[in-house]
Amino acid sequence: MNQGDTILQFQNVSRLYHQGGETIRALDGVDLTLRRGEFVAIAGPSGSGKTTLLNVSVGLDQPTEGKVWVGGQDLTGMSAPELAQLRLNKVGFIFQSYNLVPVLSAEENAELILLLRGVPAAERKRTVHQVLKEVGLEGLEHRRPSELSGGQQQRVAVARAIVAEPALVLADEPTANLDSKTAFALIDLMEKLNQEHDTTFLFSTHDPRVMKRAKRIIYLLDGRVEKDVSSP
Ligand SMILES: Nc1ncnc2c1ncn2[C@@H]1O[C@H](COP(=O)(O)OP(=O)(O)OP(=O)(O)O)[C@@H](O)[C@H]1O
Ligand SMILES: [Mg+2]
């Protein structure tokens, strides 16, 4: 199954929820392959399965049917600690509401993943300094989230997501809380990181202008891939 540069693969993935005697097909027979370096948007109306797809991609949620591989590793049957380890080593996350630790500075928030990975202090400091500079936060390293704008907080979240150079970055509506100028600046940054580090990005969005910046758009409808469109 490990086909060279395949980062993420879905094979006939369904995720069913049962609620009040009703079955909801949040994902319904999804087949998908993402290769290294792709810059992909997931589009679709509210409830179409975007968040479920992102969660299932990295074992935060389990498929009812079908299989998921991350970097050639089959997630089926992996234990919770094994999944956590895989996420720590291979995946970065960016959330709509930033999810920074409020009592930690920008620098400390960005450092978290390196701490968890057991990277020595001097190397952590060097890497974090470099990454914060790369996301345009030089000089703001010691500020806490409450002392930063929404766009700046999301840049800290991006720094945290990429600090350990994951193969895959997942983002669930990363621009939803940002004004359009700040949203485009964030997409510019993600695109730059995608090009310079060959990091694969998979992000959901409702904003057609953000969508247009993707090289590939996967349109979901009722849990199914309605269209999968790559730009030349
Ligand atoms: N934990 C859950 N229990 C029951 N139903 C759920 C659960 N999580 C999601 N669903 C349902 O699954 C479907 C897909 O939800 P999902 O959150 O993936 O959609 P989405 O495309 O991310 O929507 P939005 O654009 O509003 O964020 C919806 O019908 C939703 O109500
Ligand atoms: Mg969602």
Q: Where are the domains of the chain?
A: 6-96+166-230
What are 99-157's pLDDT values in tens digits?
999 999 999 999 999 999 999 999 999 999 999 999 999 999 999 999 999 999 999 99
> pLDDT band for position 167 (50/70/90)?
very high
Q: What is the pTM of this model?
A: 0.92
Q: Ligand 1 centre and the CA of 121: distance in Å?
A: 40
**Residue linked to tokens 């968890």:** 116
What are 211-230's pLDDT values in tens digits?
999 999 999 999 999 999 99
Residues 6+ apart with CB under 8 A from 122: none
Spell out which residues line ligand 1, taking CB within 6 angstroms: 17, 19, 24, 26, 44, 46-52
Q: What pLDDT score does 2 carry?
A: 43
Instruction: For residue 82, give both structure tokens.
Output: 């094994």
Query: What value does the mean pLDDT take over residues 83-95?
Result: 92
Instruction: For residue 64, give both structure tokens.
Output: 């009812």
Q: What pLDDT score does 4 carry?
A: 59
Q: What pLDDT score does 27 carry?
A: 98
Got the DSSP string for 90-128? HEEEE-TT----TTS-HHHHHHHHHHHTT--HHHHHHHH
Distance CA 129, CA 232 (A): 36
Beta-carbon-side half-sphere exposure of residue 151 (alpha carbons within 13 Å): 16
Distance CA 62, CA 92 (A): 19
Of 119, 113, 116, whose CA–CA distance to 169 is shortest?
113
Q: What pLDDT score does 232 carry?
A: 77
3-state secondary structure of 160: helix
Q: Ligand 1 centre and the CA of 49: distance in Å?
A: 6
Q: Ligand 1 centre and the CA of 202: distance in Å?
A: 18
CATH 3.40.50.300 fits 6-96+166-230, yes or no: yes
Beta strands 39-43 and 6-19, pairing class? unpaired
Q: For the chain, what is the mean pLDDT?
A: 93
3-state secondary structure of 196: helix
For residue 195, give the DSSP letter: H
